[in-house]
Amino acid sequence: MAYITLTKIGEFGVCQDKGTPNFYVSAYLPEQGSMVYRSLRTTNLEDACVQVRSLVDRGVTGDPAEALVQKPLRTVAEVLDFYRPTVEKQVSVEFGRGAIDRMTRLMGAQALQSMVKSNFDEFCNAALAEDVSLSTVHRTLTVLRSACKLAANERRLPRHHVPAVPYYYTKNHARSAEPKGRVMTPREIASAIDAIDFLHLLIAVVYLINTASRIGAILEATAAQIDRIYGLIHLNARDRVQTVKWRPTLPITATLEPWTRDLPPGFIVNWRGEAVGEIDTGFAAACRRAKLPGDENTYSIRHALGRYMLKKGTEPLEISLFLGHVRPPDSIETTLVYSPFAPDYLLNAKAAVEAFVREIASHTKRHNILSPPWL
């Protein structure tokens, strides 16, 4: 074949096979010391130039053969569909699927390179009209940011086509948001505990009042995450990737220690050996039987313990580390102080938690939360 170069775009040439209407892209390969020509599968010069311009925009270099096979991503729906396999590997897969479906439905056809803030405002308003919270809109758009970043890194999306996705949920929103559950007093927690009828629910609540953990971490915890040698509970399983909702390693309090003894293998909170999907229904029922005011849930315990630690004078960094609001700092000095294997690791927070649990225990009448029934 005899190729005629019609124009140059970046390092590539737009060529035509002499005597035919077919267009090709040419590239010089220094390691081979030769030119390669790849078919653009078009007889239209304008389309050929668009394809080659896309190669340059996506940062493709060298032999463009593989990049030509890959269709450039242009719309919100295309980049989200490209991101789906990544979402399927994440811990938060259910949320990721829902976020992709919602964005595809509400703005999937929009071209990424032409999107402006008003487009995202329309999406935000449409989501809010469907009773989606502002914080969920924020998390949903985080999925789009991640999808665009991956597509750009994989050279499927030109970096200058990545839209500026605005942030709708700021720190001020978070500070002014209502607690997810009504903050309970130690006496109210004791009343709820006394109204519990099932052992698995009692175990879950005991672990909650001793760790202030998010309930998901407790329900997924296994006996293998208890380190009795060093007196630690690893709320994040060894093979689980941490997310922004950090699951810390915490010291086992003296009030929790008896509940870590003689545990069978498997889930700490279980029903006939199987994992328990949720306890909010059972906990809410116990609160109703205890005739509490209402709006109580498992987050109520987390909020109550956080405030109790603050009242006891625990420094904010310790509280944040204990609650998993921040990961351990990277500085050597602070990391040494807050190392899980240091004798004084979260010492003040641990003391506050033990005082909190003992105060609850002083009000319970039916269940002894300082000693499990199997002991």
| Residue ranges making up the domain that contains 137 | 76-176
Better-scored residue on pLDDT, 242 or 350: 350
Question: What single-letter amino acid sits at 225?
Answer: Q
190 and 157 in a common domain: no
Query: Are 157 and 200 members of one domain?
Result: no
Q: Is 370 a member of any domain?
A: no
Among 17, 37, 69, give the residue marking a domain's end.
Answer: 69
Cβ contact 195:290 at 8 Å: yes
Same domain? For 216 and 335 the reply is yes
Supply the CATH number for residue 316's domain: 1.10.443.10
CA distance 261 to 205: 17
Q: Which residue has the tokens 């140059």?
A: 8
SS3 content of the chain, % helix, strand, coil (to 5): 45, 10, 40
Mean pLDDT computed over 30-47: 90
Residue 3 pairs in a beta bridge with 17
Name the residue among 20, 302, 290, 271 with its Cα closest to residue 181: 302
Dihedral of alpha carbons 303, 235, 248, 89, sign: negative
301 CB neighbour count, 10 Å cutoff: 26
Cα separation, 305 vs 313, whole angstroms: 13
Question: What would the mean pLDDT of 69-75 be, rounded to a whole number?
Answer: 83
Looking up residue 107, the CATH number of its domain turns out to be: 1.10.150
Q: CA nearest 80: which of 161, 128, 151? A: 151
How many structural domains does the chain have? 3
216 and 350 co-located in one domain = yes
Among 37-41, 114-118, 138-142, 150-154, the minimum mean pLDDT is found in 150-154
pLDDT of residue 173: 59
Same domain as 255, residue 172 = no
Rounded to a whole number of angstroms, the CA Rg of the chain reads 28
Give SS3 for 16: strand
> Has residue 369 been placed in a domain?
no
pLDDT tens for residues 311-323?
999 998 889 889 9
* pTM beyond cutoff 0.75: no
Is pLDDT above 90 for 242? no
With 90 as the cut, is the pLDDT of residue 100 above it?
yes
Q: Which of 312, 319, 206 is nearest to 269 (CA)?
A: 206
When the pLDDT of each residue in the chain is averaged and rounded to a whole number, the result is: 89
Assess whether 104 and 252 both reside in one domain. no
- The C-alpha angle with vertex 337 and arms to 333 and 341, in degrees rounded to 5, equals 125
Q: Band the pLDDT of 59: cuts 50, 70, 90.
A: confident
Q: Which two tokens stand for residue 261?
A: 């003894």
- Say what the pLDDT of residue 317 is: 86
Residue 374 lies in a domain: no
Q: Find the farthest-apart pair of alpha carbons in the chain and give their distance in angstroms, rounded.
A: 96
CA distance linking residue 77 with residue 157, whole number of Å: 13
Domain boundary among 176, 198, 221: 176
Residue 294 is assigned to a structural domain of this protein: yes
* Dihedral (CA of 35, 40, 46, 47) sign: negative
Helix (H, G, I), strand (E, B) or coil at 38: strand
In a domain, 280, yes or no: yes
Instruction: Read off the pLDDT band of 257 (50, 70, 90).
Output: very high
Q: Answer yes or no: is 58 within a domain.
A: yes
CA-closest candidate to residue 84, choices 35, 143, 135: 143
Query: What SS3 state is found at 341?
Result: coil
* Cβ atoms of 95 and 101 closer than 8 Å: no
Report yes or no: 255 and 358 within 8 Å, Cβ to Cβ.
yes
Among the listed residues 282, 285, 286, 296, the one whose alpha carbon sits nearest the alpha carbon of residue 195? 286
The answer to the question of residue 319 being in a domain is yes
pLDDT (average), residues 254-264: 96
Does residue 191 share a domain with residue 167? no
Q: Tokens 């311009």 sit at which residue?
A: 53
Same domain as 220, residue 90: no
Residues 335 and 196 grouped into a single domain: yes
Closest CA to 280 of 204, 223, 222, 220: 204
Bridge-based pairing of strands 12-17 and 3-9 is antiparallel
Q: What are the tens digits of pLDDT across the range 166-209?
A: 998 776 655 555 556 789 999 999 999 999 999 999 999 999 99
**166 and 126 assigned to the same domain:** yes
Rounded distance between C-alpha atoms, residue 302 and residue 76, angstroms: 38
**CA 364 to CA 350: how far, in whole Å?**
21
Q: Which residues pair with 5 in a beta bridge?
A: 15
- The reported pLDDT for the residue numbered 89 is 82
Q: In terms of DSSP bridges, do strands 226-227 and 34-39 run parallel, antiparallel, or are they unpaired?
A: unpaired
Domain boundary among 176, 202, 218: 176
Three-state secondary structure call for residue 234? strand
Summarised one tens digit per residue, pLDDT across range 286-335 is 999 999 998 899 999 999 999 999 999 999 888 988 998 877 665 555 55
**Residue 153 maps to a domain:** yes
272 in the same domain as 297: yes
Q: How far apart are CA 98 and CA 137, in angstroms?
A: 11
Based on the fold, state whether residues 218 and 319 are members of the same structural domain.
yes
